[in-house]
Chain A
């Protein structure tokens, strides 16, 4: 089996090329502890070749989670071939990573992407010359237009099978040349013991790459000699060791660029981008435009398309469910089995499926926003606001989607490129009160705040956001301390997203959700069914007040007494709300044995307005439903993280409700 690593900058068309190379048989790899995805897939039309899509990075330094994954794969797993994809319209910037890849002496093939744009710009790149100067095969391609892919595949296969290593091309001179050579001789034995090339090790040592220095296990006298070489180098160049190596790479790039780019045309996509950005990142218009775009996404996802599709689907599922019930009844299956199948199993399946239209529509739209280059502008425009809570501009999108539903919001964090930002955003998202909680707010405000419904709801939303911000700040000062990553990123030219990439992305999201979340949601639905329909004596109950759930709730209820709502029926509804927030209302109706219309009056008899408010505050902030939990667990690939996040969040909700209730008591006394 040959491994082919696909490496490139962000925004250079890497994902599009990956889709071209592998088709639809992709698998997302598991890297424990990080949220960054590494997709793998077999090379299309060949057997025995696996393409690994590594995170898009600008450099191979050991700082961010993404860079670590890419560099570890390259340095340690040692793929048989690297496909380094470059945006040919931006050679200067993209060749930097190429220089670092070539230093590793891994067999490499350069895929020069967006050659169609280069031609349109009137730029002429001498591909043969570039290949000669880099010392590796260069294939001009257009991933979006599916040009040059076959040639790339054939040449890549050949490289894998030949097993030839790249020789190190010495392009440097003077003091840096002396230093690299001296150090590489010095550490040769250490390097070969670790399976690393000596020149590569020398460059990394000069660059002060702590990880490589540690790996080499150098002796004290070696380190002293190295220090001596390095200080000589710094003195003669008048710069420091890190800058010296970066300079060397960029000097090479400039020399190559001069020889290779025969006729620099005007970059048409950049000119077009500048014009578009005059409006989209305009001082005054940019934020309203962002609001409109988000509003449109929201409307299409949760309103028009999402709701219509969801409603149609759930109407169909209702009919199917009823049909199933009738069928089982006619077959004279016993009552508990009918209930298990129809209320437990079927409800679980329906709840998974009902998320599907929303996810499809949302990710179709988000993929367009991301691939067109607008997402980078959102980050640019909104960054200052989000930075105050330790996040970066891109986090705004999943957070806003959280007001619709936490499930797609969690999934939308995929567009965040930094692992740290992603985890922090995931923790904050559920504080954006989701739309499934609205029926609960509606019921309680109807019962207790008939004349102040809107202000109370606004209070709930803002209080929850405030709690989320506070929570993010605390996390940042504790768990995520010192992990902040530089914000720096490229503002790529606007491009028309490729239909194939957008559809693949949408499909992958939906498939991922179905596969990974299905079991958890189904099991949880069965558990809730069991708890609400079975008594401690394991017999079926007709009245849910006799159920295990009620028993558990009666036991837990005193915990909520300090918040003002120690009634076991409210506790039961909160637990039932874990299956889906809408269940809070329906459970209350069952337990009070009244219709939903009579529920406000019934609630009014057991709660004061302040206690009701405290209950609402708790509902608005406590842990989201099982579907959200399953999604979070899938996104972070860690049950521990997901459980901890839920527990912490419920603790925050408890404290918030306690604060509201205690302060309220003080003022009303």
Chain B
């Protein structure tokens, strides 16, 4: 599954980051690297973008960008 399909409040672990060029580099630079845990914290009023917590800070990104992040949901 990808990050954009995560439920609000759900946590997951990143397994792969796809995409190309500037977008992918930015995702990686912001700390969205494979093996990192991520939590979907909130969605904007119109459902997009989303707010996630990663490496202890709050980051916002669009669903179209989140689609590039492949995750597996953490077993609670």
User: Is there contact, CB below 8 Å, between A63 and B45?
Assistant: no
Check A486–B33 contact: CB distance below 8 A.
no
- Cα A392 to Cα B23 in complex, Å, equals 16
Query: What is the minimal beta-carbon distance from A115 to any residue of chain B, in angstroms?
Result: 17
Contacts of A287 in B (CB 8 A): 45
User: Which chain B residues (9-63) contact chain A, with CB distance < 8 Å?
Assistant: 17, 21-31, 33-36, 42, 44-49, 51, 55-62
- B65: CB under 8 A from chain A? yes
Given A90-B57, A384-B48, the answer on whether A61 and B17 have CB atoms closer than 8 Å is: no
Assembled-state Cα–Cα distance A381/B36 (Å): 26
Residues of B near A283 (CB, < 8 A) are 45
Q: Determine the distance from Cα of A50 to Cα of B35 in the docked complex, in whole angstroms.
A: 42
In the complex, which range does the number of interface residues on chain B fall in?
20 to 34
Pairwise interchain contact B65-A284, C-beta atoms closer than 8 A: no
Interface SS of chain B: helix, strand, loop or mixed? mixed
- By the criterion of a CB under 8 Å from any partner CB, how many residues of chain A are at the interface? 41
Given A384-B47, A384-B48, check contact A242 B60 (CB 8 Å): no
Flag the segment in A243-251, A404-412, A629-637, A644-652 that touches B. Answer: A243-251
Distance of A273 Cα from B44 Cα, bound (Å): 16
Q: What is the CB-to-nearest-CB distance from B21 to chain A, in angstroms, rounded to a whole number? A: 7
Tell me the bound Cα distance from A381 to B57 in angstroms: 18
Q: How many A-B residue pairs have CB under 8 A?
A: 109
**CB of B28, distance to nearest CB on chain A (Å):** 4
Q: Which of A64, A384, A488, A491 contacts B30 (CB 8 A)?
A: A488
Q: Are B26 and A380 in contact (CB under 8 A)?
A: no
Please, which residues of chain B bring their CB within 8 A of the CB of A286?
44-45
Q: Which residues of A contact B28 (CB under 8 A)?
A: 242-243, 246
The answer to whether A61 and B29 have CB atoms under 8 Å apart is yes
On whether the beta carbons of B17 and A243 are closer than 8 Å, the reply is yes
Contact A487 to B31, CB < 8 A, known contacts A383-B44, A384-B49: no
Which chain B residues lie closer than 8 Å to A270 at the CB level? 58
Q: A482-498 interface mask toward B, CB cutoff 8 Å, 1 = contact, 0 = none?
A: 00011111111000000
User: Does A217 belong to the interface (CB within 8 Å)?
Assistant: no
Structural contact, A246 and B49, CB atoms closer than 8 A: no
CB pair B33–A487 under 8 Å, yes or no, is no
Instruction: Give the chain A neighbours of B35 by CB distance below 8 A.
Output: 247
Task: Report chain A residues within 8 Å CB of B42.
Answer: 277, 281
Excluding A58-B29, A381-B45, 15 further A-B contacts by CB distance (< 8 Å) are: A58-B26, A58-B30, A63-B25, A90-B56, A93-B56, A242-B24, A243-B33, A281-B45, A286-B44, A286-B45, A387-B62, A488-B60, A488-B61, A490-B60, A491-B58
B contact residues vs A (CB 8 Å cutoff): 17, 21-31, 33-36, 42, 44-49, 51, 55-62, 65
